[in-house]
Amino acid sequence: MQLNDLLNHTSEWLKGSGPNSDIVISSRIRLARNLDKENFPHWANKSQGATVLNIIKEGVAKVDYLKRTTFFNLADIDSVDKQFLVERHLMSLEQAQKSDSKALVVDDEEIVSIMINEEDHIRMQVMQSGFNLFEAWNIINAIDDNLARELNFAFLSNWGYLTACPTNAGTGMRGSVMLHLPALVMTRSIERVMAAIAKLSFTTRGLYGEGTQAMGNFFQISNQISLGPSEGEIIESINGLIRQIIEQEKQARESLLAKNSPLLEDRINRSLGILKSARIISSQETIELLSMVRLGCDAGIIKDIDRRVINELFIITQPAHLQKLENKKISAQERDLKRAELIRDKLNIH
């Protein structure tokens, strides 16, 4: 697989399928692992980092579960391609910043990705569309078991897996769910919900994870505790919380439709109208407007646009994707023009 092949592929997290996919965009399980007796990435010198990279590359090549993957050495790709991979949720912003001894392994379906030498030696993740954490866990658990046969992971019986940040020790697992919660935002209930989440030892982040703010009514919720409970117990606790949030979002949507249907329909149709006619539009405005149109599709207010079209627009209108489509670097103003043109083309054919 070549990097450009991803342009013609739908990311797993935006397929718009799976359980509760009208509210839950995607489910992700991430595992942090480190090689025994090797310095953590932030403490390793260039030679040590290169050694770890080669050891992991050889180990990955021996795992049957990872046969249909591509290895990208980040030192060999430019800044636009790195941002492109971040936009597709295949790697973190931190991984994109310094390229020495860093790599990314991606499977052909964009379900599995493995960051090498990010904060930990290995950050592997599996994503599933919709509310599907246990399926993601089954996949990543099998990969982890097979990798453990090839690589000697740092592990202590009383601490579990050792990680660069103590908060990740134990299982080394982070389960996260990406939710689209426009009704809770519009009814001004989101602050109450977020406060309750924080009290339960969960964390809320934006569209692109740690260090990012919520945009387009997207919220990524994950566990903070990885030491003590088992992986299954962590997933059950996340699932219980997410079920409650799904129910609250459904009730908020029903309330909006019952009490303020004309205003809701007006806002949704105005958003669609702007997207269909705008000649210049920013990335942030695009996400906000697409969020309302997606709500319109899910609520049955917009009947002639498939949710998958909206999901596709969320990603192909991002800066690096636009430059990949143009096959060259373009300025911010040029991106705003190209973005508007692309949206018009996609929406006006329906």
CB 83 within 8 A of CB 319: yes
Q: Is 274 exposed, middle or buried (0-12, 13-18, 19+ CB in 10 A)?
A: middle
Provide the residue count of the chain: 350
CB 166 within 8 A of CB 207: no
For residue 209, what is the DSSP state? Answer: B
The pTM of the full predicted model, rounded to 2 decimals, is: 0.91
Amino acid letter, 93: L
For residue 5, what is the DSSP state? Answer: G
Q: Decide: helix, strand or coil at residue 116.
A: strand
Query: For each of the chain's 350 residues, which pLDDT tens digit applies?
Result: 788 888 887 787 777 788 899 999 999 999 999 999 999 999 999 999 999 999 999 999 999 999 999 999 999 999 999 999 999 999 999 999 887 899 999 999 999 999 999 999 999 999 999 999 999 999 999 999 999 999 999 999 889 999 998 888 899 999 999 999 999 999 999 989 988 888 888 888 876 555 455 677 999 999 988 888 899 999 999 999 999 999 999 999 999 999 889 999 999 999 999 999 999 999 999 999 999 999 999 999 999 898 889 989 999 999 999 999 999 999 999 999 999 999 999 997 64
Q: Is 46 exposed, middle or buried (0-12, 13-18, 19+ CB in 10 A)?
A: exposed
- CA of 134: how far to CAs of 28, 29, 157, 168, in Å? 10, 9, 25, 20
Whose tokens are 């950050």? That residue is: 123
Residue 109 to residue 241: CA distance in whole angstroms:
29
Residue 214's pLDDT is 61
Residue 225 to residue 202: CA distance in whole angstroms:
8
Residue 260 to residue 257: CA distance in whole angstroms:
6
Residue 5's pLDDT is 82
Q: What is the DSSP string of 73-100?
A: EGGGS-HHHHHHHHHTTSS-HHHHH--T
Joined together, the tokens standing for residue 34 give 């480190």
Residue 278 to residue 38: CA distance in whole angstroms:
53
Q: What is the DSSP string of 145-188?
A: HHHHHHS-B-EETTTEE--SSGGG-BS-EEEEEEEE-HHHHHTT
